[in-house]
């Protein structure tokens, strides 16, 4: 079973993707366009031109997972990037999927202490 967590690398493909592509087609996009290894365990996110459909490709120990989402209203936010992929953090990904405008988000100050070993 797959679990999403803050330590995962998440890469968003910056060009629109044909949503007819499945495992092999998206693996080809990851290798040829994004220059990444699809079996790295990272999440690779693809969005179509109208930005109302999205696919996530991820590898676990036994094979690929492919998640699909179609918005009934609205569009996914477009990221202003010039490269082939955009790196997202876990929190950014969750907010992006929920339709929160990431350019308007303000983060509150939090204490980030160092955990001590009890050993």
Could you tell me if residue 49 is inside a domain? Answer: yes
**Residue 88: closest CA among 63, 54, 112, 50:** 54
Query: Which residues fall within 8 angstroms of residue 100, CB to CB, at 6 or more apart?
Result: none
Could you tell me if residue 87 is inside a domain? Answer: yes
Query: Which residues fall within 8 angstroms of residue 118, CB to CB, at 6 or more apart?
Result: none
Q: Is residue 18 helix, strand or coil?
A: coil
Could you tell me if residue 40 is inside a domain? Answer: yes
Give the count of domains, the chain.
1
Between these two residues, 101 and 11, which has the higher pLDDT value? Answer: 11
Could you tell me if residue 44 is inside a domain? Answer: yes
Q: How far apart are CA 11 and CA 8, in angstroms?
A: 10
Q: How far apart are CA 110 and CA 108, in angstroms?
A: 6
Could you tell me if residue 68 is inside a domain? Answer: yes
Could you tell me if residue 73 is inside a domain? Answer: yes
User: What pLDDT is attached to residue 58?
Assistant: 95
Is residue 116 within 8 Å of residue 91, measured between CB atoms? Answer: no
Determine the structural domain holding residue 24 and report its residue range. Answer: 10-97
Could you tell me if residue 116 is inside a domain? Answer: no
pLDDT band at 8 (very low <50, low <70, confident <90, very high): confident
């Amino acid at each position: 079973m797959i679990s999403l967590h803050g330590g995962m690398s998440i890469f968003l493909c910056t060009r629109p993707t044909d949503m007819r592509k499945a495992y092999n087609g998206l693996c080809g996009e990851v290798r040829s366009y994004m220059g990444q290894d699809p079996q790295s365990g990272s999440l690779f996110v693809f969005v179509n031109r109208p930005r109302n459909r999205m696919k996530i490709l991820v590898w676990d120990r036994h094979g690929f997972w492919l998640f699909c989402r179609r918005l009934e209203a609205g569009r996914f936010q477009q990221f202003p990037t010039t490269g082939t992929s955009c790196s997202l953090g876990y929190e950014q990904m969750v907010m992006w999927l929920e339709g929160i405008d990431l350019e308007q988000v303000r983060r509150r100050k939090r204490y980030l202490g160092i955990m001590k070993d009890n050993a």
